[in-house]
Amino acid sequence: MHLKAHGMCSMAGRRGRRCGFMSQERLKILCVSPMPASPPRIGAQARLHGLMTQLARRHDLTAAVLFDDEEFDADVCQQAMQAYCGEVLMVPFRYGRTGLPKRLLQLRSLTSTRSFHRLLFTLPRWQQSLDRLLRARRFDIVNVQFPFFGHCDLRQAPPGEKPPALVIDSHNIEYDLARQYARNGNLVRRLYGEANWRKLRQEELRTYRDGDGVYLCSAEDERRLLNEVPKARTTVIPNAADVEYYQPRRTDPPPDGRTVVFFGVLSYVPNVDGVHHFVKNIWPRVAALHPDARCKIIGGQPPPSLLALAGPRIELTGFVPDLRPYLAAAAAVVVPLRLGGGTRLKVVEAMAMGKAIVSTRLGVEGVEAIPGRDVLVEDEPAAFADAVSRLLTEPSLAARIGRSARRLAVERYAWSGVARALEGFYHRILLEAGS
């Protein structure tokens, strides 16, 4: 049941006129998520926000979300999501992702057959809230963000009504990401990680098997999933950008010819590893060739290990409410990632801003960019540094690559087109289920 619905509905020729007909049907969609979609501050939220705001133009959306009141302002999130959702159910929940609560839950998971993630998201109050919502009204689709709610009973409907179809948005192959993390750190972390990712794998694959459809961010992740679950009904719904918001503006500062920017949530393991790799293994060569060059690292929640990297030529800005002026002023954007999955929102957002990017192959995985035309791609530290140096030395090259990247973002990575492809996937699932 593998579907390559990679672009807009009109691109899926084999569905012919049927797709256009089905897309006129207004669906009732319940979006279930471990975090609020809006206002978006991190990559996962940006994906939710981008898809949901577009879907809400043609369908009736309800949201059921968990939120940590230490991380999110409930009133702000509720108001932001009510702008496009008919109802927003928010259930408070302390994530326990740091400190003593996390350590205790990790210890508990060592003696359990369940993964840390399954224990974290097994919440009676959450299931009770979902029960009331699902039994009160019928939904055509329950769209679950991440595979962590596979244990929840989501196929419920009012008496006499048909249960909804269950669709999973796999932002990453989570167990594969956990497996990558298990290779890093000290011996205790590696041993714990090895045990946890294997349990997570069993749970995640079971969730994919039980779902009516799974959509993934990249063709690479889709292949990984189909190797494990060959009968899964899948499609690729890539990460995208708000190309009207992220675009060059006359009011923005021009590129300064010396600033190299990395941006992303700095508590995220792949970003932490990527920044360390860049600063230790790549930046010294760039700095030696360009005495006036500066490195700007933008993002919230940096750990002490990253804060310690700050110096006269390396600045950590913390979270910024508007990335656009920072990106506009940058001579180059770097994506030196060595860990991760899916596709990087930072790549498509920087492309939409018309910026020249230097990335590892993993960093641009899932983005159909042509190296040398839309982006520069290098994996070895010396070659990566040389590519950054070229952009600092040749502003015309940076401008040309940036223009090409902007065109690609508008043509292929706008949320409007990506959401249309997701609608086609929903309708295909419902058609095959006999709805």
Question: Which of 222, 187, 150, 272 is closest to 3 using CA atoms?
Answer: 222
Over the stretch 270-317, which tens digit does the pLDDT of each residue have? 999 999 999 999 999 999 999 999 999 999 989 999 999 999 999 999
Per-residue pLDDT at 95: 64
Q: 156 with 321: CB under 8 angstroms? A: no
* pLDDT given for residue 381 in this prediction: 98
pLDDT at 7: 39
- What is the third-level CATH fold of 259-412? Rossmann fold (3.40.50)
User: How many whole angstroms separate alpha carbon 393 and alpha carbon 331?
Assistant: 10
Domain ranges for the chain: 9-238+415-432, 259-412
pLDDT at 96: 57
pLDDT tens sequence across 179-216: 888 877 677 777 888 888 999 999 999 999 999 999 99
Same fold, 9-238+415-432 and 259-412: yes
Cα gap 93→87, rounded to integer Å? 19
Give residue 62's pLDDT.
Answer: 98
- Is the CATH number 3.40.50.2000 carried by domain 9-238+415-432? yes
CA–CA distances in Å: residue 166 to residues 17, 231, 422, 430 = 25, 15, 14, 10
- Residues in the chain predicted with pLDDT less than 70, given as ranges, are 1-24, 95-98, 185, 435
**Collapsing DSSP states into helix, strand and coil, what is residue 347?**
helix
pLDDT at 4: 38
Hey, which bits of 154-243 come out as E strands?
A: 165-170, 213-216, 234-236
Both structure tokens of 267? 């508590």
